[in-house]
Structure 1
Amino acid sequence: MRGLGRRLNDTGAAFAAVARNNNLRWLELAWTASIVGHYAFLIAVSVYAYNEGGEKAVGVIFLIRLIPAALISPFAGLLGDRYRRDRVLLTTNATRIVLVGAAAVAVFVDASSTTVYGLSIAATIATTPFRSAQAALTPALARTPTELTAANAVASGIESIAVFAGPALAGVLLGLASTGTVFMLTALLLVASILFILLIKIEHVPRPKHEIEASTILSEAFAGFTAIGRHPALRVMMVPLTAQTAVAGAVQVFIVVAALELLDLGEGGVGYLNAAIGVGAFIGAVGALSFAGARRLSTIFLVGVALMGLPLIAIGVWPELVVAVLVLGLMGFGNSLTDVSGLTLVQRAVSDDVMARVFGVVQMLWLASLGIGAALVPVLIAALGVKGALIATGALLPVLVLLLGAKVAKIDAAAPAPDATELRILGSVPIFAPLPGGSLEHLASRLVPMRLDPGTMIVREGDPGDRFYIVAEGRVEVSQDGVVLSELEPGGYFGEISLIRDVPRTATVTASTSVVLYALDREDFLAAVTGHPQAAEAAETVMSARLAGLATTGYRSTA
């Protein structure tokens, strides 16, 4: 609990750091308006589809929305590498405003459902480039590495909150007004997002040094399948992970059916039930902050998978409002446990050289299973009825846990947790404190311990910078032009200026006593502080003017 409390304090500090930077504050507010509007819009589309064509329409529209999104997703991120990222954000939101506004007008004038569906699907697809462009723009706006990692942590926290805030807002409006009203609200939120983006003052936008070809993305995806196939425990783990995501897709349809048919809550009930899931997911995400270093993550993963299915059984057996709200909150909690522990297990089990390709496969499986799960619900309801379909779908996951649990548990042996000391040392560095537990674990696995004798020169002024260092034991002396500037003790760190500025070392660092250091290679450091591997390249060219006085601030760093 002490570790969880520290992580919560770090999260609060991250929000405060972002609030002090005007540009980051506007960017995060733009993200908030965009993502809340997105989730509210999805609820309204589901309700509209149900009113027009029942649960079959909800499932089909959900599937159709995901197919192009899955195909476009790998390429959407390239827009931020080819064009100015703030303009990508503005263009994305402007396109969504036109499409969402047109969908609202179509609803108000009773246009054909095909027209509304087409506009809604196009608006959802247009959302795809926003997140990657936002993540890539963040390094250009941060003034220090700590602000950079804090901004990434805040963006993740905002999305967790939006998962229940958006549906709750949609639920209120659907109860008071109509689907078209929610569409109009979404458009207004996107207008607000644009206004926030326009307030951002960008001094310099780095140009990319290279482009990523579509053929490379496709070849890496196939290599990811090969990597998973060679890892027996990971291969088995993909079954419950994919099944859990399919159930999550099915829940998107079941929520609409349960609210309007089983529980008779009206259209607003769709938003309220989704909000219950979101609240549980947020609580689970907060609890997951303490997962860093956990030794039995497979147990947490399996519990989360079971919790995704059992609530559906409960609703099918006891279709009461109180039961539904409570168990859906439990489902959201389980979903967060599964997502965080599952992805962390993959990070532990897979070597770094194939990590991106494996996660590319996981992303594809996630999108495909979401759509398939949603599309199968109408078939199950036709065969088993609403209650029977809920029970059958919910039973799938606990059964898989019983059948595959022992095999999945073997992944703990193949994917050991990082050393607790290394995690503690990383967490003590302000630059890394806001990072999620899974990111900290991956970074800890990249640390290189070093034991040096007194008098050993660690870095020399004027030499190229290739590593970031953290002092674990002993003391080191920092000098410039032969003049001693300071002495760093355990918890101190140095080397980030050279890495981020891509310039020679600005000072010489020598061991004053016997020291134990932990070193982090340049690529790993830059990827960590940006929170977006492709944006690490941007960090090298953007931070120069802003870090000139870093050695004299409270960061206890230099070189």
Structure 2
Amino acid sequence: MRRVLAERLGAPAAALRQVFANRDLRRLELAWASSLAGGWSFGVAIAVFAYEAGGPAAAGIVTVLRSVLAAFASPWTALLADRFARERVMVAADGLRALALAAAVILVALDASAPFVYALAAVVSVAGTALRAAKAALVPNLAREPAELTAMNVVSGTTESVAVFLGPAVGGLLLALAGIEVTFAVTAGAFLLSALLVARIHGPGRPERSGDGRTHFLGEALGGFRLIAREPGVRTIALLTAAQALVYGALTVLIVVISFRLVDLGSAGVGLLYSALGIGGLLGSLVTFGLIARGRLATDFALANALWGVPIALIAVWPNAAVALVLLGAVGAANTVADVAGTTLLQRSADNELLARVFGALETLIVGSIGVGALLEPALVAGLGTRGALLVTGALLPVLVALLWRRLAAMEAAAEAPSRSVALLRGCPIFAPLSEATLEGLAESLVPRALAADAEVIRLGEPGDRFYLVEAGELEAHDGTRVTALGPGDWFGEIALLRNVPRTATVRAVTASALLALERDDFLRAVTENPRSLEAADTVIGTRLGSLTGGARSV
């Protein structure tokens, strides 16, 4: 039992250690924490400023305005992260937010008109959408393997849950002790710190773009929506995420109704019930560590969405304050698991060229769905009563998961084959430095080739057009003087491609064998565009060419 537990905890722990050992991921996460804390602190500060300037109506209008602008801006700002280096987009976004808040400090100090400050608050909100999309799209290019990608999303989810608590608390404390100007200034400092940390990240640079580059700006901005509509797997993730947001919007209304009508907690109970969601989210972060070891993201995503709805329906069955707190805590935990699994699935499923725009489109769907849920729920409560509304709202996600279960199971099965191919690629020193996103893209380009015993793969002196990985079977390489055995996990063909010389050996199958072939252009693009990979390739080739026994793999 102890050994099994150690094995299950060992993989997540190792992946988390890799996240913090990865210098770029560590800097990105620290920047994300600083930016999130600043964002939540700013949300409290601008709401208080608006309330003092124009009362409750002004505070409400500013909050709605920031949300609506963010929803409409997301697809457009996300395009920037697919056109330019994502780390630079993050630096620019948080730098712009810092400048906007510095200007707000000056305006408040000069007692300027409130609408000018509101305009700067809108800039902060819109720039934040670019930051979120760029960060989500950058992570797969910095992670080196699937477990590290999942672990990074677990850490980010935990950071976000903590920021939800600490950000507003720090903002409120600063407001009480030092006032609006100091709070704005400290928040600007948090954004600036984030920008400085991201500036030190050595990212992959500008994402590769296909086509002739003459696509209309509007068409490019809508690319994320088109990919969601076109790709069944991405569409399934987006549909469930939007449905989850719809239920969350409904829950913002239901929590008030539950507190006043069902469990008699009154106005104080509203905050208590929301706190249960937050605490559950933090506890859910512990659960997400298991996702790293399981490696079954589609299943976990489905189950988390189902568990999002079931506790809401159960509140109608057991209308008790303590039970409601526990059940809403379960909703918060399910929310964290669904967010981590859904984000990781999207990062691994969507085309890297469009990844930021996919997250931008999803952000728009989420914000819109929250609004629709909040608008529809009062009518549902009026028509069906509190318990009826809870049952119907809670049933939505489990029913949707049941309807989409086959598609989710297919996604799980489809992920297994690329995972094996990625493992083979990662086992080759030439590809080991490449990011997980690049490796998965290469895995999709691999062409299976079956060989009968005695069949030749390549011949000495022929031009080289492919790189080969041995998936199964036994082969022999003859260079004219030596014969070297090749087996599963070995590779050959790199010298002819990288040095532009004829094949230096003949390779034939000793037994029935299975190979994975990578076309010349795909191989060269992946290796030559990554300095560390090219350096590794040069090292391997130099070693093999200078070795008396290493000719087998250098053909």
Q: Verify same fold: TM over 0.5.
A: yes
Whole-angstrom distance in 2 between the partners of 1:106 and 1:170: 23
Paired positions, count: 526
Deviations for 1:16-45, whole angstroms, at most 9, x for unmatched residues? 556666566545544453355445555766
CA shift at 1:164, angstroms? 1.0
CA shift at 1:247, angstroms? 2.6
CA shift at 1:97, angstroms? 0.8
Which residue in 1 is equivalent to 2:456?
Answer: 456
Which residue in 1 is equivalent to 2:325?
Answer: 324
Which residue in 1 is equivalent to 2:534?
Answer: 544
> Are the structure 2 counterparts of residues 520 and 76 from structure 1 closer, same or farther at C-alpha, using a change threshold of 3 Å?
farther
Unaligned segments of structure 2, at least 5 residues: 545-551
Which residue in 2 is equivalent to 1:418?
Answer: 414
Which residue in 2 is equivalent to 1:308?
Answer: 308
Which residue in 2 is equivalent to 1:276?
Answer: 279
Unaligned segments of structure 1, at least 5 residues: 528-534
1:377 correspondence with 2:374: yes
CA shift at 1:412, angstroms? 5.6
CA shift at 1:160, angstroms? 2.0
CA shift at 1:137, angstroms? 7.6
SS at match of 1:450: strand
> Are the structure 2 counterparts of residues 365 and 17 from structure 1 closer, same or farther at C-alpha, using a change threshold of 3 Å?
closer
Whole-angstrom distance in 2 between the partners of 1:154 and 1:504: 42
Higher relative contact order (CA 8 A, sep 6+): 1
SS at match of 1:398: helix
Amino acid at match of 1:327: L
Which residue in 1 is equivalent to 2:192?
Answer: 191
> Are the structure 2 counterparts of residues 273 and 512 from structure 1 closer, same or farther at C-alpha, using a change threshold of 3 Å?
same
Comparing 244-253 and 39-48, the one that deviates more: 39-48
Whole-angstrom distance in 1 between the partners of 2:79 and 2:243: 26
Whole-angstrom distance in 1 between the partners of 2:170 and 2:320: 24
Whole-angstrom distance in 2 between the partners of 1:459 and 1:34: 57
Whole-angstrom distance in 1 between the partners of 2:34 and 2:69: 21
Whole-angstrom distance in 2 between the partners of 1:80 and 1:356: 11
Q: What is the TM-score when the length of structure 2 is the normalising length?
A: 0.66
Written as runs of structure 1 = structure 2, the 5 A alignment for 1:140-539 is: 147=144, 155-174=152-171, 176-178=173-175, 180=180, 183-199=184-200, 211=213, 213=215, 214-217=217-220, 220=223, 224=227, 227=230, 241-249=241-249, 264=268, 275-276=278-279, 278-283=281-286, 285-289=288-292, 292=295, 303-312=303-312, 320=321, 323-324=324-325, 327-334=328-335, 336-337=337-338, 340=341, 364=361, 367-374=364-371, 377=374, 380=377, 392=389, 395-399=392-396, 401-402=398-399, 407-411=403-407, 417-418=413-414, 423=419, 426-427=422-423, 430=426, 448-452=447-451, 453=453, 456-457=456-457, 463=463, 466-467=466-467, 469=469, 471-476=470-475, 489-493=487-491, 510=507, 513-514=510-511, 516-519=513-516, 521=518, 539=529
Equivalent pair of 1:139/1:538 in contact (CA under 8 Å): no
Which residue in 2 is equivalent to 1:530?
Answer: none
CA shift at 1:64, angstroms? 1.4
> Are the structure 2 counterparts of residues 259 and 396 from structure 1 closer, same or farther at C-alpha, using a change threshold of 3 Å?
closer
Whole-angstrom distance in 1 between the partners of 2:366 and 2:425: 39
SS at match of 2:414: coil
1:72 correspondence with 2:69: no
Equivalent pair of 1:225/1:358 in contact (CA under 8 Å): no
Amino acid at match of 1:548: D
CA shift at 1:373, angstroms? 1.9
Deviations for 1:417-450, whole angstroms, at most 9, x for unmatched residues? 1385774564476469999999999987776443
Equivalent pair of 1:70/1:364 in contact (CA under 8 Å): yes
Whole-angstrom distance in 1 between the partners of 2:252 and 2:291: 24
Deviations for 1:289-331, whole angstroms, at most 9, x for unmatched residues? 466568xx57x65543333234456678768589537623533
> Are the structure 2 counterparts of residues 162 and 401 from structure 1 closer, same or farther at C-alpha, using a change threshold of 3 Å?
same
CA shift at 1:546, angstroms? 5.4
Whole-angstrom distance in 1 between the partners of 2:437 and 2:536: 29
> Are the structure 2 counterparts of residues 108 and 397 from structure 1 closer, same or farther at C-alpha, using a change threshold of 3 Å?
farther
> Are the structure 2 counterparts of residues 343 and 97 from structure 1 closer, same or farther at C-alpha, using a change threshold of 3 Å?
closer
CA shift at 1:487, angstroms? 5.7
Written as runs of structure 1 = structure 2, the 5 A alignment for 1:21-100 is: 25-27=26-28, 29-38=30-39, 41=42, 53=56, 57=61, 60-61=64-65, 63-80=67-84, 87-100=88-101
Equivalent pair of 1:168/1:271 in contact (CA under 8 Å): no
SS at match of 1:514: coil
SS at match of 1:308: helix
Q: Answer with 1 or 2: which has the greater Rg.
A: 2
Equivalent pair of 1:380/1:389 in contact (CA under 8 Å): no
CA shift at 1:122, angstroms? 1.4
Amino acid at match of 1:68: F
Equivalent pair of 2:455/2:509 in contact (CA under 8 Å): yes
Whole-angstrom distance in 2 between the partners of 1:137 and 1:346: 9
Percent pairwise identity: 23
Equivalent pair of 1:43/1:167 in contact (CA under 8 Å): no
Q: What is the TM-score when the length of structure 1 is the normalising length?
A: 0.66
Equivalent pair of 2:471/2:515 in contact (CA under 8 Å): yes
Whole-angstrom distance in 1 between the partners of 2:455 and 2:222: 49
> Are the structure 2 counterparts of residues 459 and 236 from structure 1 closer, same or farther at C-alpha, using a change threshold of 3 Å?
same
Deviations for 1:383-419, whole angstroms, at most 9, x for unmatched residues? 959xx789837742414634x5654334367667138
Amino acid at match of 1:418: A
SS at match of 2:246: helix
Which residue in 1 is equivalent to 2:547?
Answer: none
Amino acid at match of 1:191: L
Whole-angstrom distance in 1 between the partners of 2:97 and 2:226: 34
Which residue in 2 is equivalent to 1:532?
Answer: none
CA shift at 1:162, angstroms? 2.1
Equivalent pair of 1:206/1:538 in contact (CA under 8 Å): no
Aligned Cα RMSD in Å? Answer: 6.1
Whole-angstrom distance in 2 between the partners of 1:139 and 1:301: 19
CA shift at 1:544, angstroms? 2.8
Equivalent pair of 2:89/2:130 in contact (CA under 8 Å): yes
Comparing 316-325 and 58-67, the one that deviates more: 316-325
